[in-house]
Amino acid sequence: MGVILVMGLSGWFLYNKNIELQRLNSAFGLRDAEQKQTIATIKESYETQGKALSELTTKNAEIEGEMNRYLDIFRRHNLTKLAAAKPGLIEPRINNATKEVFDGIKNDSKLISDLSSN
């Protein structure tokens, strides 16, 4: 009789332990799926940021090249001397170039403002 009682209690204990382990296994499976989804999202975000950084680096290189080209023009010419000698030749060009630069800054500021408001 004692052996049957011990076997019954052992069976009941093992059955309950099995149920508890099955619940834990389900919870761990759900957690694992959530972590895999989070990792995939982070990887996608990382790739997007990498592409954006690459584009910005390319654009920065273009801007630096343009800046160097303009600085080279200033190095090759004495604009003060040329403006004093021929003001009608230099003044309209400088005014037009200055207007273009300010218009570019205005347009860039507008784009940034529009992006910030979205």
Question: If pLDDT is split at 50, 70 and 90, which confidence band does 118 have?
Answer: low
pLDDT at residue 101 in the model: 92
Q: Give the mean pLDDT of the chain.
A: 89
Averaged over 103-112, what is the pLDDT?
88
pLDDT at residue 87 in the model: 79
pLDDT at residue 18 in the model: 93
Distance CA 33, CA 41 (A): 12
pLDDT above 70: percentage of residues in the chain: 99
Residue 82 scores a pLDDT above 90? no
Is residue 82 a contact partner of residue 73, using CB atoms and an 8 Å limit? no
Averaged over 25-54, what is the pLDDT?
94
Question: If pLDDT is split at 50, 70 and 90, which confidence band does 14 have?
Answer: very high
Cα→Cα distances 17→10, 13, 74, 98, Å: 10, 6, 84, 80
pLDDT at residue 111 in the model: 82
Residue 90 makes CB contacts below 8 A (sequence gap 6+) with: 79, 82, 83
